[in-house]
Amino acid sequence: MSLIAIVGGGPSQYIPENFYEDVSFWIGADGGAQVLLERGMRVDLAIGDFDSVTSDTLRKIKEEAYETKVYSREKDETDLELAVQEAISKGADHILFYGVTGGRMDHTLANIQLLYPMIQQNLKGTIVDRQNEIEVKLPGVHTVEYSDDYPYVSFIPLSLKVKSLSLQGFKYHLEAEDLPIGSTLCLSNELEKETGTYSFEEGIVLTIKSRDAAPYIPE
């Protein structure tokens, strides 16, 4: 599996202290390239219009990154969309997203929605921040593994209806339940064992593993 990570320029207090290992390619989208440099990590590709960084920072990014692609601010795609296109062209089958939540809600919601066209292409996408791991799932049987970092699991309908949702191995079981959009029935569940499964026949589900601890905010 080719695991590629994209780091966006979202609020730094939402970005985890530790990144996942085994990433084969690191992409910094706009200010995300600065985040990688500040963490002492390599930047395989820096991409975007870089309207969120200073000219001095952009110059440093160009010096340090293996490759930099600068786009005009007047464009149809967001910087994150451009980064996803590059990740796909590099052969990614799983993309991790950091720095794409918090701050402006329109950006956060749009970034979450980016996961949907990815799964239509059989491409896994996971958004990770200090409190959440977020994925979008299509019908089928899916496995959830327990994590000390994210002990709660929620299942939120993204389509008008999710048909026949079943939860196995969770504290609150569910058997073939239809959930309409707006339902909060499946919020804040917990695994009973190391792994659990969930399945559904129709619809789109937003799966969120989370924890209560507030993100760290520097003084």
Q: Is residue 114 part of a domain?
A: yes
Q: Is residue 218 part of a domain?
A: no
Looking at the fold, whether 25 and 124 belong to one and the same domain comes out as yes
Domain end marker among 109, 130, 151? 130
Q: What is the pLDDT of residues 136-188, one digit of tens each?
A: 999 999 999 999 899 999 999 999 999 999 999 999 999 999 999 999 999 99
How many Cβ atoms are within 10 Å of 200's Cβ, its own excluded?
27
Looking at the fold, whether 126 and 197 belong to one and the same domain comes out as no
Structure tokens at 210: 């989370």
Q: Is residue 217 part of a domain?
A: no
Q: Is residue 148 part of a domain?
A: yes
Looking at the fold, whether 44 and 66 belong to one and the same domain comes out as yes
CB 191 within 8 A of CB 171: yes
- Is the per-residue pLDDT at 77 higher than 90? no
- CATH code where residue 152 lies: 3.40.50.10240
Q: Single out the residue of 97, 81, 77, 78 nearest to residue 89, CA to CA.
A: 81
Domain that holds residue 181: 137-210
Looking at the fold, whether 90 and 178 belong to one and the same domain comes out as no
Looking at the fold, whether 122 and 164 belong to one and the same domain comes out as no
In terms of Cβ atoms closer than 10 Å to its own Cβ (0-12, 13-18, 19+), residue 84 is buried
Query: Higher pLDDT residue, 34 or 1?
Result: 34
Looking at the fold, whether 109 and 62 belong to one and the same domain comes out as yes
How many Cβ atoms are within 10 Å of 177's Cβ, its own excluded?
15
Domain end marker among 114, 130, 146? 130
Looking at the fold, whether 25 and 120 belong to one and the same domain comes out as yes
Q: Single out the residue of 121, 68, 126, 118 nearest to residue 101, CA to CA.
A: 126
Looking at the fold, whether 104 and 15 belong to one and the same domain comes out as yes
Query: CA–CA distance from 84 to each of 39, 76, 101, 118 (Å)?
Result: 22, 14, 16, 9
Looking at the fold, whether 36 and 94 belong to one and the same domain comes out as yes
- Is the per-residue pLDDT at 218 higher than 60? no
CB 198 within 8 A of CB 168: yes
- Amino acid sitting at position 181: I
How far apart CA 26 and CA 36 sit, in angstroms, is: 9
- Is the per-residue pLDDT at 219 higher than 70? no
Q: Single out the residue of 194, 189, 199 nearest to residue 166, CA to CA.
A: 199
pLDDT at position 93: 94
pTM: 0.93
How many Cβ atoms are within 10 Å of 141's Cβ, its own excluded?
10
- Is the per-residue pLDDT at 42 higher than 90? yes
Q: Is residue 141 part of a domain?
A: yes
Q: Is residue 219 part of a domain?
A: no
Partners of 25 in the beta sheet? 4
How far apart CA 91 and CA 201 sit, in angstroms, is: 29
How far apart CA 147 and CA 53 sit, in angstroms, is: 35
Q: Is residue 216 part of a domain?
A: no
Looking at the fold, whether 104 and 206 belong to one and the same domain comes out as no
